[in-house]
């Protein structure tokens, strides 16, 4: 009887020892596999070896590997975007500065006629104003992204703020034989928002349409579950990608000849999100439209 018990215990010890050895070897092999996956550019995952490791553990390890790979991809994308951003900033600042310096040199050339020198001074002033505008935009965007502070809100008449923004651009649109046409629910539409932030959003959208659109700007207001607005105008740029229109520094005008920094709509999007709103863009049949929604009172 005792012999049988001893034999059984010995077999049990052997089985347990063998199981521990197998699990240890599996753990070592899995650790080496994880190390190899981490050190190489691959999407490969680990797999259970004949049930040596629990499926729950395998699943958790694979989830961590997927998250790690996603972080690496996001880091590479952000790093590329940062490099492109620095290139764009350098180009944007250098262009008006170089131009202004050229006209300043012309203004100082006493061999030129007075009218030509005066014209050079005026152009140099405009180039420096453009440079100041660019620096202000870069600073504002950087401050906004880094702080993420939610502006103080109050009950506002959305249409009143919209009309006030549109009035500021009345002369500019008329000068180009264009108009701003506000349609839809143009009565009193109350929202819980921030006036200055709303003004900046509308200013950027109206200004963007003025610079890069064609024809009249049609603004449609809809009073539904949320306050919805659409800004629609003719599409002036066939290379426009509506999926990237709100990306920082995105522009199809590579030479920046039209004064486009690619920041206007990115700022409008960030401000809209700060106010709890949503914004999107679409192109169809030669028309470009930006849709924007805000929570109501």
Q: How far is CA 180 from CA 7, 183, 228, 266, 290, in A?
A: 95, 10, 17, 22, 15
pLDDT beyond 80 at 10: no
DSSP states of 24-56: HHHHHHHHHHHHHHHHSS-------STTSS-HH
Mean per-residue pLDDT for 123-135?
Answer: 77
Least confident residue range of 24-38, 125-139, 180-194, 224-238: 24-38
Per-residue pLDDT, averaged over 3-25, amounts to: 67
Per residue in 215-267, pLDDT tens?
A: 899 999 999 889 999 999 887 666 555 565 666 554 544 434 444 445 567 77
* CA distances from residue 235 to 214, 220, 252 in whole angstroms, order as listed: 6, 17, 13
Q: Would you state the pLDDT for residue 257? A: 41
Domain 155-294 matching CATH 3.30.565.10: the answer reads yes
Q: Which one of 64-68, 147-151, 242-246 scores highest in mean pLDDT?
A: 64-68
Report pTM: 0.55
Rounded Cα distance, 172 and 116, in Å? 27
- 100-119 average pLDDT score: 83
Q: What are the sequence ranges of the domains in the chain?
A: 91-147, 155-294
pLDDT of residue 1: 63
Q: Please report, for residues 136, 157, 170, the alpha-carbon distance to residue 177 in angstroms, rounded to integers and kept in the order given.
A: 30, 29, 10
Phi, psi of 233 (to 5 degrees): -155, 175
- Select from 1.10.760.10, 3.90.550.10, 3.40.640.10, 1.10.287.130 the CATH code of 91-147: 1.10.287.130
Distance CA 260, CA 123 (A): 18
pLDDT for 210 beyond 90? no
164-209 tens-digit pLDDT: 888 888 888 888 899 999 999 888 999 988 888 888 888 888 888 8
pLDDT given for residue 109 in this prediction:
82
């Amino acid at each position: 009887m005792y012999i049988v018990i001893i034999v059984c215990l010995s077999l049990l010890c052997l089985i347990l020892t063998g199981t521990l050895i197998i699990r240890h070897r599996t753990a070592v092999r899995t650790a080496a596999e994880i190390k190899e996956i981490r050190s190489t550019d691959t999407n490969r995952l680990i797999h259970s070896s004949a049930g040596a490791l629990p499926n729950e553990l395998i699943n958790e390890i694979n989830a961590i590997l997927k998250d790690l790979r996603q972080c690496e991809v996001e880091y590479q994308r952000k790093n590329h975007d940062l490099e492109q951003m620095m290139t764009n900033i350098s180009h944007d600042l250098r262009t008006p500065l170089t131009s202004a310096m050229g006209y300043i040199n012309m203004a100082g050339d006493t061999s030129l006629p007075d009218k030509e020198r005066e014209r050079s001074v005026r152009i140099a002033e405009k180039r420096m104003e453009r440079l100041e505008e660019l620096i202000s935009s870069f600073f504002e965007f950087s401050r906004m992204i880094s702080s993420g502070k939610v502006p103080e809100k109050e009950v506002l008449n959305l249409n009143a703020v919209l009309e006030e923004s549109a009035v500021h651009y009345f002369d500019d649109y008329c000068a180009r034989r264009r108009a701003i046409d506000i349609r839809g629910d143009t009565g009193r539409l109350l929202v819980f928002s921030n006036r200055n932030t709303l003004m900046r959003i509308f200013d950027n959208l109206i200004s963007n349409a003025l610079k890069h659109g064609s024809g009249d700007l049609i603004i449609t207001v809809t009073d539904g579950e949320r306050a919805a607005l659409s800004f629609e105008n003719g599409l002036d740029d066939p290379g426009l990608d509506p999926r990237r229109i709100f990306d920082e520094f995105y522009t199809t005008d590579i030479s920046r000849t039209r004064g486009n920094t690619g920041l206007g709509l990115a700022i409008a999007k960030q401000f809209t999100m700060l106010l709890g709103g949503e914004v999107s863009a679409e192109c169809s049949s030669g028309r470009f439209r930006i849709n924007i929604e805000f929570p109501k009172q």
